[in-house]
Amino acid sequence: MDTRPDEGDVTQPTLGPVGMMRWAWRQLTSMRTALFLLLLLAIGAVPGSIWPQRNIDAGRVADYLASHRSTGPWLDRLGFFDVYSSSWFAAIYLLLFVSLVGCVVPRSKIHWRAMRAQPPRAPSRLERLPEHGEIEVDGAPEDVLRVALAVLESKRVLGRHSGLRRWRVRSTDQPEPDGDSDGRSSDGLWLSAECGYLRETGNLVFHAALIVVIIAVAVGHLFGWRGDRIVVTGKSFSNTISAYDTFDPGPWVDTEGLSPFTVAVDRLDVTFEERAGGAQRGAPRDFTAYTRTQTSPQAPQVNQILKVNGPLKFGGASVFLLGNGYAPVITVRDAKDQVLMREATPFLPQDANYKSVGAVKVSAASPKQLGFFGFFLPSEYLDKNSGPSSFFPDLKNPALALGVYEGELYPQGRPQSVYTLSTEKMTQLKNAKGEPLRLLLKPGQTAQLPDGRGSITFDSVQRWAGLSIRYDPGKVLALGGAVAALLGLIASLMIRRRRVFVRVRPGGRRTVVSIGGLAKGEDPGLGAVIEDLLSTISERTGTKV
């Protein structure tokens, strides 16, 4: 019957705003789009591994921009140095997130209903199913069907006694929920059974758990913080914002409410590879910091060992040992031998052999302020090309190589790095020959500065520990989500969703048992399942082969 109206009455269906939204939603939540977004996510993540990233190493980004004057700014504008916080990367994963939600919610509803529903009725022609088998057994059809039911119900998921039934069975006798129960008379005798509902459950758990992981990451980003601090051995540090060299809080962190623990670093033991040759020589082997900690100023002190891979924990915050280096103890005196400054000054390692840079700033010097800038070398030697260098990261021949400047240390009071000297308002001191003055000091040595400016003494060397303190309230949730995702994934890949239908019909004096099987996706094992069922039924009915 043709119910279409005449041509003239055709009104083009127009998509109103609701229709448009519905259409867009369908597109977004389709598998095809999800696939496309997944691939886009993979491609979008790659640039972050090729170009240096600001959140990891801002210094390398600055170097890159300095050496690529034409392409650098463009890459920067496109967010290639902040890929994972760029708007386009966020767009990909947020769309994927929405697509994920749009896929999981309706599928959960369908699965919820399927879990409660009975298996469908057996189709009439089982031989048309992907897998099919047939045998003749002894006994009346009703008895054989009863045996088949018993066989299906006796199959367990984990061994014979687990109690977990493998198959959900529906037989001819059970009426449909809507009251249609005339199957027996018109439809012959049949059973239908289904197993592997956990496959879809696992699949949904996997996708839902990914959403949990994304939420956990967001929680960590909003409420987490991290701070870094260099602590020279013998010194301590307490967890307040002002104590940090750098502090990076999430947008919703209460920076006044940090837990008031303290960590004192008493000693730092460092071992480097001495035996192996080649690239392995000098590779770090062990870092151990001996610390005294207090959870609050009133709490008792506890001795704790801090190692790489072994952080200290204070409630939710963890203290990690991520760096180390040397802090030469330097004393600067004026012409009257009065001490202007005595301090262990941390120098920052620049290479694998700990050639370190640092600055000593003597603001108390007069009439002009004094600044020393240069290198600390744990194992000093003179390289023909690069000057004073270090051949090993440990203290085999420690030396300080410094240039001296005088003038204004902090022009206009601008903030500056403690490891470099801002020399725009300073002049370098010269020696008698008019060359820039260079000091090379070994521990215990003192150098006199020219023209009665005083002296500088390299007293001794201490080590410093680079501590990184992190607080991430989302990490437990992220771990839980990830583990749930893994379990769900395993269930969805390993469990088979199968339907099996049994029909019996009289065949001469015996009964013909016909079994057909249907599976979701590829299932090479389905044929074996049907064979197993057939042979068990044949055995239980006492059929002689």
Partner 1 sequence: MTNETLSLYANLGVYSAMAVLTIAMIAFAIDLAGTAPRVLTVAPEIRKQPATVGAGSFVGAVASPVPGHRSDVSDLPRRRKAAGVAMMLTRLGGLLLIAAAAMRGLSVHRPPLGNMFEFALVGCMFVVVVFVAISLRRDVRWLGLFVVGPVLLTLGLAITVFYTDASELLPSLRSVWLVIHVSVATFSVALFTIAFSVTILHLVKTWLEAQEPEGMSRVRTVVNTALPPARSLDRTAYGIHAVAFPLWTFTLIAGAIWAEQAWGHYWNWDPKEVWTFVIWVIYAAYLHARATTGWSARSANYLALVGYAAILVNYMVVNVFFVGQHSYSGM
Using CB under 8 A, list all residues that contact partner 1: 31-32, 34-35, 38-39, 41-42, 45-46, 48-50, 52-53, 55-57, 60, 83-84, 217, 226, 273, 275-280, 283-287, 307-311, 318, 320, 322, 468, 470, 472, 475, 478-479, 482-483, 485-486, 489-490, 493-494, 521-522, 524
Closer CB to partner 1, 322 or 364, in the complex: 322
Q: What whole-number distance in Å separates Cα of residue 77 and Cα of residue 81? A: 9
Name which of 462, 438, 468, 227 is nearest 347 in CA terms.
462
Minimum CB separation of residue 68 from partner 1 in Å reads 16
Minimum CB separation of residue 31 from partner 1 in Å reads 5
Angle of the 526-540 helix axis to the 141-154 helix axis, nearest 10: 120
Minimum CB separation of residue 64 from partner 1 in Å reads 11
Burial (Cβ within 10 Å: 0-12, 13-18, ≥19) of residue 408? middle
Minimum CB separation of residue 79 from partner 1 in Å reads 13
Minimum CB separation of residue 414 from partner 1 in Å reads 31
Minimum CB separation of residue 455 from partner 1 in Å reads 39
Minimum CB separation of residue 288 from partner 1 in Å reads 9
Question: Could you tell me the CA-to-CA distances from 107 to 71, 148, 231, 456 in Å, in that order?
Answer: 47, 33, 54, 75
Query: What is the chain's Cα-based Rg?
Result: 38
Cβ atoms of 477 and 205 within 8 Å: the answer is: no
State the first-to-last Cα distance of the chain, in angstroms, to the nearest integer: 55
Closer CB to partner 1, 21 or 46, in the complex: 46
Minimum CB separation of residue 400 from partner 1 in Å reads 27
Beta-carbon contacts of residue 134 (< 8 Å; ≥ 6 apart): 127, 512, 513, 514, 515, 534
Closer CB to partner 1, 284 or 443, in the complex: 284
Question: Could you tell me the CA-to-CA distances from 426 to 374, 410, 510 in Å, in that order?
Answer: 15, 10, 110
Minimum CB separation of residue 39 from partner 1 in Å reads 5
Closer CB to partner 1, 373 or 392, in the complex: 392
Note the helical H segments in 473-525: 475-494
Angle of the 87-116 helix axis to the 31-45 helix axis, nearest 10: 140
Minimum CB separation of residue 285 from partner 1 in Å reads 6
Closer CB to partner 1, 50 or 158, in the complex: 50
Name which of 11, 201, 177, 232 is nearest 111 in CA terms.
201
CA 57 to chain centre: 18
Name which of 121, 141, 120, 133 is nearest 504 in CA terms.
141
Closer CB to partner 1, 167 or 225, in the complex: 225
Cis peptide leading into residue 300 (ω within 30°): no
Tokens of residue 326, six digits: 């040397």
Closer CB to partner 1, 123 or 284, in the complex: 284
Minimum CB separation of residue 196 from partner 1 in Å reads 15
Closer CB to partner 1, 13 or 277, in the complex: 277
Closer CB to partner 1, 272 or 381, in the complex: 272
Closer CB to partner 1, 24 or 493, in the complex: 493
Instruction: Quote the DSSP letter at residue 364.
Output: T
Tokens of residue 43, six digits: 């491609």
Minimum CB separation of residue 41 from partner 1 in Å reads 6
Contacts by residues 423-428 (CB-CB < 8 Å, ≥ 24 positions apart): 423/371, 423/373, 426/371, 428/403, 428/404
Closer CB to partner 1, 238 or 468, in the complex: 468
Q: What whole-number distance in Å separates Cα of residue 294 and Cα of residue 236? A: 11
Beta-carbon contacts of residue 106 (< 8 Å; ≥ 6 apart): none
Closer CB to partner 1, 321 or 401, in the complex: 321
Q: What whole-number distance in Å separates Cα of residue 365 and Cα of residue 338? A: 11
